Chains A and B, each alone.
Chain A
Amino acid sequence: MNLSIFHDPRIDVLAQALDGLSQRQQAIAGNIANVDTPGYQRKDVTFEAALRAQFGLDAGTRLATTNPGHIPYAPGDPGLLATATNTNGSPLPVQRNDGNNVDIDYEMTLLAQTTLLYQTLAQAATNRFATLNGIVTRLT
């Protein structure tokens, strides 16, 4: 009896990515709360590289190009799971004289990005479980 559909590595990837995004959201909330705190240094959460390495996504995930017009995807390219991993935050230097390096525009856009990505992955997980549910109900 093969139960491998219930040990889907895709669910594990989704779960850990959701966890990482949740922690990033927490870091962004802290950065926004401290936007006026003198001397505060922003915090970020990077997990994409570790996640890709853990599940071997760098080695295994590649897109075939069968037409010259196709956009090639090579391992290491920024994919779905690769978002901002820049720990210094904004690529532009923050001009403030209170020692705080929070760029509020960067934090707000990162917040929107994190929320959307979280919703996307949560929807993917929901769809995956709906598929499993469909299989189970049709087999019984």
Chain B
Amino acid sequence: MGLVQSIGISRSGLQVERLRMDVVANNIANMNSTRQANGAPGPYQREILTIAAQDGAQPFPTLLARLTGETTPGGVTATAITTDPSPGRRVYDPSNPDADAQGYVTYPNIDLTVEMSDMLGAERSYQANATALNAMKTMAQAAIGIGSTH
């Protein structure tokens, strides 16, 4: 039971880090988007992923743990993807069709340094979760080996 739940915890970590990577990739891909997704004027706004600790990794083990009075260490979950309201960088380019009356184009509020460091963080955290998953598999195999006489 414990080992099976550990898979769910590590899986939640892997999923969240992958989602974080998706958000970062989306921010980097849109770092020069001067219009919204629907074509409306206004630059792309940087997206931020907020995460929170989870009570239990999976619905069924959580329910079972509540019934048996066990406490579960839980995993992690993504709670929301919000937009960063900070103003974008303004570049003087009067010939651009998206330039305002003063001739300035507002580009998204994306700092490539921040996105790159966030990406590295997500990558390393993903690896840590994958290592935890592999350790759990090693332990499960050792447990299966108990009592086998070869």
Contact = CB atoms under 8 A, between A and B. Distances in A.
B9 A122 contact: no
Nearest to B130: A32
Interface stretch (A50-58, A62-70, A77-85, A123-131): A123-131
A28 B132 contact: yes
A111 B135 contact: yes
Contacts, number: 115
A25 B2 contact: yes
Interface size class of B (residues with CB under 8 A): 35 or more
A119 B136 contact: no
B125 A126 contact: no
B74 interface: yes
Given A26-B73, A29-B9, A129 B53 contact: no
Nearest to B3: A22
A129 B149 CA distance: 8
A90 interface: no
Contacts of B125: 32, 35-36
Nearest to A22: B2
B131 A111 contact: yes
Nearest to B145: A126
A30 B73 contact: yes
Interface string A36-78: 1110100100000000000000000000000000000000000
Interface of B: 2-3, 5-6, 9-10, 12-13, 16-17, 20, 51-53, 72-76, 121, 125, 128-129, 131-133, 135-136, 138-139, 142-143, 145-149
